[in-house]
């Protein structure tokens, strides 16, 4: 299920002879979910063929775990005065951490989350 992008995403794909750059703003949509092998992230800019674009990425769990570790090591680049972004990241990380804890219904997926938990996880993608 796609959701509106609450802020902005920029994507650059660089080849030796080409460079593709795309921006996905509030009019775009995204989907992020876990599957059997990793994390799937898709960004969509809808519209007619002249403006329509999409980006799909899949990270296996080990790579995504390393990405999270690198983010943790570089969190000092978010200024302490930027409390709103720090709070959103902190709450989203807490929600992910809690969701990863084994529970009585291990096979439940994220569709069973409360609306508040969904909003918190949404902020992790900002």
Q: Under a CB-based contact definition with an 8 Å cutoff, are residues 31 and 5 in contact?
A: no
DSSP state of 26: T
Return the pLDDT at 107.
57
Task: Round the average pLDDT of the chain to a whole number and report it.
Answer: 87
pLDDT at 102: 82
Q: Does the pLDDT value for residue 117 go beyond 90?
A: no
C-alpha dihedral sign at 90, 96, 100, 101:
positive
Rounded to whole angstroms, the Cα distance separating 119 from 12 reads 27
Q: Is the pLDDT higher at 102 or at 25?
A: 25
Rounded to the nearest 5 degrees, what angle is found at the Cα of 68, between the Cα atoms of 29 and 71? 90
**Domain residue limits, the chain:** 1-59, 74-126
Residues 6+ apart with CB under 8 A from 50: none
């Amino acid at each position: 299920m796609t959701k509106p992008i609450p802020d902005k995403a920029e994507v650059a794909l660089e080849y030796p002879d080409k460079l593709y750059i795309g921006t996905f703003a509030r009019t775009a949509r995204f989907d992020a979910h876990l599957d059997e092998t990793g994390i799937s992230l898709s960004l969509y800019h809808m519209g007619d063929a002249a403006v329509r674009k999409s980006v799909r990425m899949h990270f296996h769990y080990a790579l995504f775990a390393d990405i999270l570790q690198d983010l943790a090591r570089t969190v000092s680049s978010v200024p302490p005065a930027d409390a709103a972004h720090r709070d959103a990241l902190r709450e989203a990380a807490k929600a992910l951490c809690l969701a990863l804890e084994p529970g009585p219904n291990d096979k439940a997926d994220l569709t069973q989350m409360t609306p508040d938990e969904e909003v918190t996880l949404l902020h992790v993608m900002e």
